[in-house]
Amino acid sequence: MRILITGGAGFMGSNAALFFQKKGWKIFILDDFSRKGSKNNLDNLKKKITIQWYKVEISNYKKLSNIISKIKPNLILHCAGQVAVTKSVTNPRRDFNSNTLGTFNVLESIRNFSKDSKLIFTSTNKVYGNIEKKISSNEKRYFFRSSEKNINENYPLDFYSPYGCSKGAADQYVRDYSRIYKLDTTVLRLSCIYGGMQYGIEDHGWITWLTMLAILEKEIKIFGDGKQVRDALYIDDLVRLFYKLSMKKNVKSEIYNVGGSSKNSLSLLELINSLEKKLKKKVNFRKYNWRPGDQKIYISNISKVSKELNWKPEIKISQGLDRVIEWVKLNQKIIQKTLKI
């Protein structure tokens, strides 16, 4: 079995590569290595497993299609893309080229050269935009009022930011290419994913990023009031889902919301409090103005994916945070050098 992972030297891609190799798959990764930490992840992969890798920009259809035509992978795990809302606001063209055009290129490559390849696309909760549900708050977090439920796949799309637009358009292309061209595609609308090999930045990978800053005793920037809530899913649980989907037949054109659900949700302030307890020291932070596209609360309703794929999160947020702390401490010098913090 052959898997091609776009963004294969990124956080999700590199963790998936390690998992699928253990299952006996032949690993091919494709990345442009523009993201900080990707070269570190590639070096780590080459030390641990056998891979074949390509340096290619996902927006380059000719090079991408040649690779897919040559490999004809059983599974394409499409993780490549621009990942930050703030960067989409400052450079929407690059965001579009990476997320929308890049995904279109993957789909066209499959349609024209490898029609039997299964595609899993990692979309985002940002396609739901600024959630228009009734919410309340206490001193630590926002929460949906009792009459409101977590976000399921039928919630209206409202992209709200260039990032939401680019991922949302790609999301719909993936679904419709299955309907029209009979491709085997699945869309995963992901909430907050965290774990090792995640070189987080200020506007993406916030659990790992805040953990890095806390361990390095750097001041944390909080945009908004800090009561923003997300459900968090540890990377190992997501990779298990990737594998379940790879083995599942007849999941064409399905969309699943994927996250940690209410049991694994937390706010920025709650994360800081947990870090202070686990690290046994004060964590310094300062509040700044809200940013465009920020959601006050998002919690995934994972009923559909749990029922249809017999999957649910196994790693609790406290366990996952312990693993992130361990990874950061083991790689502290590399992290500081790579991210310049």
Q: Which residues contact 6 (CB under 8 A, 6 or more apart)?
A: 13, 30, 31, 58, 76, 77, 78, 79, 80, 102, 106
Catalytic residue among 128, 163, 173, 243: 163
- Distance between CA 2 and CA 61 in Å, rounded? 21
- Distance between CA 276 and CA 122 in Å, rounded? 32
Task: Check residue 182 and give left, alpha or beta (phi > 0: left; psi -120 to 50: alpha).
Answer: left
Q: Mark 150-167 as b/e (b = at least 16 C-beta within 10 Å).
A: bbebebeeebbbbbbbbb
- Distance between CA 195 and CA 30 in Å, rounded? 21
Amino acid occupying residue 269: L
- Distance between CA 13 and CA 37 in Å, rounded? 12
Backbone angles phi and psi of 59, in degrees to 5: -80, -5
Whether residue 58 contacts residue 105, with contact meaning beta carbons closer than 8 Å, is answered with yes
- Distance between CA 152 and CA 301 in Å, rounded? 5
Whether residue 84 contacts residue 10, with contact meaning beta carbons closer than 8 Å, is answered with no
Whether residue 131 contacts residue 295, with contact meaning beta carbons closer than 8 Å, is answered with yes
181 is catalytic: no
Catalytic residues: 163
